[in-house]
Amino acid sequence: MTEQEQPILSVKNLAVTYKTRKRDVNAVRDVTFDIYAGENVGLVGESGCGKSTAAYSIVGFLGRNGRVSNGEILFRGENLANRPESDLRKLRGADISMVYQEPMSALNPTMLIKDQLAESLIVHQNMDKKAAYEKSLESLKSVYMPDPEGVMDRYPHQLSGGQQQRVLIAMALLNNPSLLIMDEPTTALDVTVEAAVLDLIAELKERYNTATLYITHNLGVVARVSDRLAVMYAGEIVELASTKDLYAKPLHPYTMGLMRCLPDVDAPKGTRTLHPIDGRVPSPDNLPEGCIFSPRCEFARENCFTEHPKLDEVVPGHQARCFYAKEWLEKGVRWDDRMEEPERVCPERPAETDEIMLTIKDARVYYPVPFKTVRGLFGLEKRKYVRAVDDVSFTIKRGRTLGVVGESGCGKSTIAKAIVGLEALHDGKIDFLETDISSPINKRGSQTIRDLQMVFQDPNGVLNPSYSIGDQIALSLRRFNTVPRDQEYDEVVRLLRAVKLGENYYHRLPRQLSGGEKQRVGIARAIASNPAAVICDEPVSALDVSVQAAVLNLLLEIQKQQNTTMILISHDLSSVRFFSDDVAVMYLGRLCEIGPCESIYSSPSHPYTAALLAAVPRPDPTLEQTGVRLHGRVPSAVNPPSGCRFNTRCPFKIGEICEKEEPPRQDMGGGHLIYCHLPPQELNKL
Amino acid sequence: MAEQTLTLKNLRIAARARQMARLRESLTVVFASKTAIVGLVMVLLWVLVAVFAPLVTKFGPLEQDYLMINQGPSGAHILGTDHMGRDVWSRIAFGARTILTLGPLSVMVAFVVGITLGLPSGYYGGWIDETVMRILDAIMAFPTILLYMIIISAVGASPFNVVVAIAIGGAPGIARLVRALAMDIRTREYVAAAKLRGDKDIQIMLREILPNCRGPLIVDFLLRIGYAAFYIGTLGFLGLGLPPPTPDWGGMVQEGHSRMFANVWPVLSATLSIVTLVIGLNLFADGLREETMRYQ
């Protein structure tokens, strides 16, 4: 990229306004940035920061109530703002392409892949069908689609998520666009698939010299693909710099805050505290005065609350919207400085006991597949099952935390549901505090129910929208007779305070709360019965990073205070490392590896674990991020591969034995078990 | 964060204040939609007429005056008189009472039946769902009006039987709606949380699922009162409604339609009454639905 060149896209003082019932709302204000050919600019921010709105205004997808109210969007020198639909339609798909977040909903489920691909060539380049098909096939090859000829004749639902995303990227590149807008293209994908797609995006940039606008909330992802980053907060760009500079010395307190609250996959439990950013992103119709970040900024001074800072160039190529950016630079305030604070949540823990809390033995959870034939209905066909959890055994000691990781469909959530009794066991046994709890919840004793509680994933579904927060917590108290009736109110308030919410939340309704607050109420409800064990099913995966940190800290604190045993189900290996003492890695209903966090993360031994860890995007642009990559898709759990389940994708497959025989359990010492055919010394080398 | 300790009394006041705020909020939803307001005004007018029927009329609905049959509108009889010399306006006003009690009543009964069938059906699924739904399908296979005619001609025309007929005819549709809502809501995590609290199925259905169905159910309730008014009218027209001297809009159309070209007033007033009431209810329901959907 040379500075003299004309930028492909130049956005100047862009403001986007939405008309709502009450008034006009400026969702995006004063956004200015350029993208040059062959450059990847990342637009980063939490949800509600206006990053998608800013990007969609370029192609005019603002909906009926949105419009560009100020500024210019210059695409190769031409202003696109508020252009008629017909002009934009010619540009879209040809000169400007988009890749969306949800590949499944971005593809038309009723059209063959080849027809969808060819369509844009036929429309924009007047190609004939045959030539269009040929070009489409070529483009599929260029995104390294396995079996491209076969894929051409398939429907979207016959492809895996990663393949669908490859089709979308191929489609976006068909007309050699000069600008590519990618809206969270890997957020919906599993981490191993994400890694492969990111590799592809990075390579395509080199090959096609396309200008790319990359929208994401994930600082790890942009560190890998972007050259420059624009950090957005509440509709404004607060910092704009090259990726290296931004990660090395962030100059805006918001950027520093974002980096401080990321769990680090390479840091063991207890060595780091996460610093959440207090408060929440203000809604665009109720912006604070002065600097928009001032209410949440820990460095804010008096004038921050009254004056609005401009986006200033602090050093060449590094702009920040902060009055004191120069000072941070000169004084050398670094984002990780405050991490050495004494206020640590995790290290000291009550002495460990050897008491075994939970034993799972040969657990299987099967879902019957509905019969599709008449013969089946009359019982003449063998019943087929989705083997969600197939022969899993492990134990947890009192006071420890087990993290269960794996990609979607590996059975990690199902095992959690089986433990709390929401799913019935097909076979096997679960013992909890020396009681057999293999039966589903309606057959369990109330003491067991009270001792085994759960924190759920979706903050929007976790609370009943019809009742106030306090009433929902009080209901649990009443059910378990935790406290006498007349102390109920005080106990609810105590619980609310324990999850860092105040008494004034008692009468609020769930919809008046933010996602993070709802999740806290969910935690308060789970600990209301004083449970001995809490199972957390992806408790933070639906939350913004700054809120994730707060919720994880809260869970750790509760564990420390009450010596609760916890199981953390998560696809995010970083938060598992931050949170857990032990880790279990699952693949397709089976356990691959289980053991103390340290021995697994520091030297991953199972090939699948190695691939998972290599795939985690690290928020550090200086790291060379390569390693084991997985190909192919996860096989069906109705008909899993014989032998080792991982053999179809394993890069270290040793031969027939992997397909024929169940992998043996190998004890690596210290409670570290690996299910693999590779001999121990080979495993240690991985 | 105000960290004051509230006494129990203050607590109750706070709770009441929240309730008022919620009420105000639901009223703003109604008043935000012009459609809903127009509908509400139309319905309220009829409700007022029904409630104050003796005050807004000069004659009784059954009072006959054989010297004044088939009259057009005049100062004494603002909508004229029918073939028996009864005041049309009085019959309309008292007829509003009939339709506005029987309509909501029958729909309420239909809702009780429909919810009782649909809620477990959607919550449990499986064979319970199959059995209930197949039975309801069988009822739904009959054209509604035919079903009513069969029921009424079997048990005879009376206000009670009209309510029963409309409840039977309406329950399957309501059950299906409740079932669909329950099937969606039972997968929510707060239902799982209730199970983890050890709640019984009936508690989960009534406390966790049913209250969260209320939005669509309220809209459906209003729409169905409109349909019920319409069907009560139709039954009356077919002679299957309320026994003759009762003031009933449908019956008025039936009695008057043979003399329609001689005296249009009884037929016209009764039809327009049905039309305005039904349209009013529909507008109200539509406005409410649109507004609540936008609200989400």
Return the H-helix or E-strand segment holding A455.
Answer: strand A452-455
∠ at Cα A240 (A170, A56), nearest 5°?
45
pLDDT per residue as tens digits for the range A152-182: 888 888 887 778 888 888 888 888 888 889 9
B12 found inside a domain: no
B239 found inside a domain: yes
Confidence of residue B10 (pLDDT cuts 50, 70, 90): low
Closest CA to A581 of A401, A446, A352, A329: A401
Query: Looking at A293-384, which runs of residues are DSSP E strands?
Result: 312-315, 318-320, 356-368
Å between B178 CA and nearest CA of chain A: 17
Q: Does A595 touch chain B (CB under 8 A)?
A: no
Report CB contact under 8 Å: A457, B212.
no
Res B61 pLDDT > 80: no
Minimal Cβ distance to B212: which of A464, A472, A476:
A464
pLDDT of B178: 94
* Residue B212 to residue B130: CA distance in whole angstroms: 24
Closest CA to B196 of A440, A431, A367: A440
- Is residue B162 within 8 Å of B241, Cβ to Cβ? yes
Sign (positive or negative) of CA dihedral A227, A233, A234, A236? negative
Report CB contact under 8 Å: B196, A479.
no
Confidence of residue B116 (pLDDT cuts 50, 70, 90): very high
Res B2 pLDDT > 70: no
Å between A250 CA and nearest CA of chain B: 32
Res A249 pLDDT > 70: yes
Å between A72 CA and nearest CA of chain B: 31
Confidence of residue A55 (pLDDT cuts 50, 70, 90): confident
- Is residue A407 within 8 Å of A188, Cβ to Cβ? no
Residues 184-203 of B with CB under 8 A from A: 188-190, 192-193, 195-199
Report CB contact under 8 Å: A464, B208.
yes
Start-to-end CA distance of chain A, whole Å, equals: 38
* Residue B60 to residue A149: CA distance in whole angstroms: 85
With CA atoms as reference, the chain A residue closest to B215 would be: A466
Q: State what percent of residues in chain B have pLDDT above 70.
A: 94
Instruction: Give residues with Cβ within 8 angstroms of A333, minimum separation 6.
Output: A256, A299, A327
Å between A683 CA and nearest CA of chain B: 40
Q: Does B248 touch chain A (CB under 8 A)?
A: no
pLDDT of A223: 85
Residues 112-171 of B with CB under 8 A from A: none
Pair of tokens at residue A431: 């013992």
Superfamily of domain A356-463+513-685: P-loop containing nucleotide triphosphate hydrolases (3.40.50.300)
Minimal Cβ distance to A465: which of B197, B198, B212:
B212
pLDDT per residue as tens digits for the range A263-312: 777 777 766 677 778 777 887 777 888 888 888 888 888 888 888 888 88
Q: Does A578 touch chain B (CB under 8 A)?
A: no
How many CB contacts within 8 angstroms connect chain A with chain B? 68
Q: Mean per-residue pLDDT for B224-253?
A: 84
B75 found inside a domain: no
Å between A534 CA and nearest CA of chain B: 11
In this predicted structure, which of A3-17, A328-342, B263-277 has the lowest mean pLDDT? Answer: A328-342
Between A188 and B183, whose confidence is greater?
A: B183
Between B171 and A269, whose confidence is greater?
A: B171
Which residues of chain B are within 8 Å of residue A476 when distances are taken between CB atoms?
Answer: 197
pLDDT of A677: 86
Which residues of chain B are within 8 Å of residue A475 when distances are taken between CB atoms?
Answer: 197
Å between A486 CA and nearest CA of chain B: 10
Domain ranges of chain A: 9-95+175-337, 103-174, 356-463+513-685
pLDDT per residue as tens digits for the range A187-237: 777 888 888 888 888 888 888 888 899 998 888 888 888 889 999 998 889
Report CB contact under 8 Å: A502, B188.
no
Res A339 pLDDT > 50: no
Which residues of chain B are within 8 Å of residue A64 when distances are taken between CB atoms?
Answer: none
pLDDT per residue as tens digits for the range B191-227: 999 988 888 899 999 999 999 888 889 889 988 988 8
B18 found inside a domain: no
With CA atoms as reference, the chain A residue closest to B199 would be: A479
Report CB contact under 8 Å: B15, A489.
no
Q: Sheet holding A78-79: strands in order across?
A: A24-35, A9-19, A66-75, A78-79
3-state secondary structure of A298: coil
pLDDT of A188: 75
Q: Does A413 touch chain B (CB under 8 A)?
A: no
Res A346 pLDDT > 50: no
Report CB contact under 8 Å: B192, A422.
yes
In this predicted structure, which of A338-347, A408-417, A419-428 has the lowest mean pLDDT? Answer: A338-347
Which residues of chain B are within 8 Å of residue A442 when distances are taken between CB atoms?
Answer: 195
Instruction: Give residues with Cβ within 8 angstroms of A24, minimum separation 6.
Output: A17, A18, A69
∠ at Cα A267 (A261, A272), nearest 5°?
50
Q: State what percent of residues in chain A have pLDDT above 90.
A: 6
Report CB contact under 8 Å: B189, A462.
yes
Res A338 pLDDT > 50: no
**Hey, how many other C-beta atoms are within 10 angstroms of the C-beta on A315?**
14
Q: Does B68 touch chain A (CB under 8 A)?
A: no
Shared fold status for A9-95+175-337 and A356-463+513-685: yes
Sign (positive or negative) of CA dihedral A480, A486, A489, A495? negative
Å between A63 CA and nearest CA of chain B: 15
Confidence of residue A348 (pLDDT cuts 50, 70, 90): very low
Class of CATH domain A9-95+175-337 = alpha beta
- Is residue A181 within 8 Å of A98, Cβ to Cβ? yes
pLDDT of A335: 54
- Is residue A556 within 8 Å of A345, Cβ to Cβ? yes
Report CB contact under 8 Å: A507, B14.
yes
Res A589 pLDDT > 80: yes
Q: Mean per-residue pLDDT for A478-482?
A: 84
Q: Does B27 touch chain A (CB under 8 A)?
A: no
In this predicted structure, which of A122-131, A635-644, B103-112 has the lowest mean pLDDT? Answer: A635-644
Å between B99 CA and nearest CA of chain A: 33
Binning chain B into helix, strand and coil, the percentages to the nearest 5 are: 75, 0, 25
Report CB contact under 8 Å: A446, B198.
yes
Q: Mean per-residue pLDDT for B84-102?
A: 86
Domain assignment of residue B264, given as a range: 49-58+83-295
Å between A248 CA and nearest CA of chain B: 37
Task: Give the total number of structural domains in chain B.
Answer: 1
Pair of tokens at residue B163: 């309510």
B20 found inside a domain: no
Res A347 pLDDT > 70: no
pLDDT of A658: 86
Report CB contact under 8 Å: B195, A422.
yes
pLDDT of A333: 63
Confidence of residue A350 (pLDDT cuts 50, 70, 90): low
With CA atoms as reference, the chain B residue closest to A518 would be: B190
pLDDT of B176: 94
B88 found inside a domain: yes
Res B8 pLDDT > 60: no
* Residue A627 to residue A614: CA distance in whole angstroms: 5
Q: Does B295 touch chain A (CB under 8 A)?
A: no
Which residues of chain B are within 8 Å of residue A503 when distances are taken between CB atoms?
Answer: 1-3, 6
Å between A395 CA and nearest CA of chain B: 22
pTM of the model: 0.81
* Residue A658 to residue A651: CA distance in whole angstroms: 12
Mutation pick from B181, B197, B296 vs chain A, by most beta carbons of A within 10 Å, is B197
Which residues of chain A are within 8 Å of residue B20 when distances are taken between CB atoms?
Answer: none
Mutation pick from A21, A455, A464, A569 vs chain B, by most beta carbons of B within 10 Å, is A464
Report CB contact under 8 Å: A489, B11.
yes
HSE-up (13 A, CA, CB side) for residue B169: 26
Pair of tokens at residue B208: 């966790």
Q: Mean per-residue pLDDT for B11-31?
A: 74
With CA atoms as reference, the chain A residue closest to B211 would be: A466
- Beta-bridge mates of residue A97: A180
- Write down the mean pLDDT value for chain A: 83
Å between A445 CA and nearest CA of chain B: 9
For residue B159, what is the domain's CATH number? Answer: 1.10.3720.10
HSE-up (13 A, CA, CB side) for residue A488: 18
DSSP, res A283: P
Return the H-helix or E-strand segment holding A96.
Answer: strand A96-99
Res A533 pLDDT > 80: yes
B73 found inside a domain: no
Closest CA to A97 of A213, A196, A6, A197: A213
